[in-house]
Amino acid sequence: MSVGEERPHDRSTWQKETLGPWLKRAPERQDEFTTLSGISLPVVADEEDVQPDKIGYPGNYPYTRGIFPTMHRGRLWTMRQYAGFGSADETNRRFRFLLDQGQTGLSVAFDLPTQMGYDSDHPMARGEVGKVGVAIDSVEDLQRLFHGIPLEKVTTSMTINAPAAILLLMYQEVGRKQGVAPDKLGGTIQNDVLKEYTARGTYILPPAASLRLVTDTFRYCSERLPRFHAISISGYHIREAGSTAPQEVAFTLANAIAYVEAAQAAGLAIDSFAPRLSFFFNAQSDLFEEAAKFRAARRLWARLMAERGAKDPRSLQLRFHAQTAGSALTAQQPEVNIARVTLQALAAVLGGAQSLHTNAYDEALALPTEHSALLALRSQQVIAYETGAADVVDPLGGSYLVERLTNRIEEEAEALIDEIQALGGAVAAIEAGFVQRKIQDAAYRYQQEVEQGRRKVVGVNAFQAAEEQERPPLLRIGSDVEARQLERLAELRRRRDPDPVARALDALEQVARGQGSLLETLGVAVAAKATLGEMVDRLVAVYGRYRPKETV
């Protein structure tokens, strides 16, 4: 074909006349052209990969391009850095520092004993108090955590699952002590217990009892805390456990369907709670796959909810928080993580996140220092104010590649959801080990790719440092944190009136064995200064502690 002759206008002609002869002279590299999830990538995408009727416009069904008409042009995403360590007082200082530096929302990390429903003086808590998050034993701890922070002016996300209802009620009580009405409190509790059984492990009660607590929380929030998201259905930890992007979408939305159906079975109208459902996704390093993943999740969720009878447009809108991938952080050459995190955050912004946390570069080594946490926040601010990524809604929309990946992720995720529904839904699939096996298989395939060098990780299996580099300064948790927390807990038990506590706990156990709102009785116990562990123990006395079945 000479210059000036008509060029081929379809893929097959181009492949035959242009690509084929070129590859004979210059063959491609092999085994490299797949996404992080293993989706095959073409040499080039084109108009055949676009389905205009499925794209639409932002703010309109099926919300592929965003749930609001102006998205980040109208309001930037909430910059919600995740923080928590040691005591409530130490974490409070970190919160206030980040707010002073331009953070626009709070996100609380709790220590493992709190996540597992143990008080700090429980034998199972020994050595773990305040280590990976803040220790919260009672409403007084939470009051110290938010000292000097007006709750009506900030939204708070709490990464807590099995005892989420208790922390929510503690937050409401702190608001009451500040003089803030419940309808002025805004935020999110994670409260997604189903993913704990498959990907994370901080479960307490069996699935049926956990779902009762979740649906009671839906009802309570719809009636008492209208600005609070009663759940953040989490794909983040599913992805961290090793799933692919389509699996992250599928397993997250399958869990969401289970919560919706449980709430409907409990007598809740879908549009009474669905507008306050929220989601939490991972932002991995494959820029275009991740942006496409968020678009596919929005579109698929809108259709799934419409099929279940939702009429309120807000019930169809998938709103989500994203966090950059902790599993992608490397201990080797940790400063390189700054580049990884920035690109992952960009993927979340291009994909239309409502809220975002960016990991600190040193988190593969320890909890972030004040310096590294500030750098992580600054990466969001650079994206927001210097790149132009927030200036146009869905700037990747219409990209041949991104639309191709969006369609493919949606198709794969929907097929997996159909498999789960055929097994009887998310709970049945979890109990059968289906979800766990899928995640384990995907994680194993990825690890093989890294170990065999087919998947390059800078600093780990490629471009390694010639000599060991000096590690950056690390945050150390004081050795006296546990002792001080135990002293506060013992002092609380001496000071409080034991009779209201005993009555409230007895009433909680009675309701757990029968009917009624668990949250109403938990709220009385919280106000009486019952501890987290005391309340959880009463629930465990009725339902037992969950023990997982072997899945392999």
Low-confidence ranges of the chain (pLDDT < 50): 1
CB-based contact 175:527 (threshold 8 Å) = no
Please, what sign has the CA dihedral across residues 112, 116, 117, 121? Answer: negative
- The DSSP result for 344-407, as a single string, is HHHHHHHTT-SEEE---TTTTTSSPPHHHHHHHHHHHHHHHHHSSTTSSSSTTTT-HHHHHHHH
Instruction: Please tell us whether the domain made up of 52-451 is placed in CATH 3.60.40.10.
Output: no
User: What pLDDT shows up at residue 469?
Assistant: 74
Which tokens belong to 430?
């979890």
In this prediction, residue 4 carries a pLDDT of 53
* Helix axis angle, 532-543 to 498-513, nearest 10°: 30
Residue 418, C-beta contacts closer than 8 angstroms, at least 6 positions apart: none
Residue 435: what are its φ and ψ, rounded to 5°? Answer: -65, -45
What residue segments make up the domains of the chain, in order of their start?
52-451, 482-543
Q: What pLDDT shows up at residue 323? A: 98
So what's the pLDDT on residue 27? 87
Q: For position 180, what pLDDT does the model report?
A: 98
Per-residue model confidence (pLDDT) at position 7 = 64
- In the prediction, which pLDDT does 8 show? 66
Q: CB count, 10 Å around CB of 491? A: 11
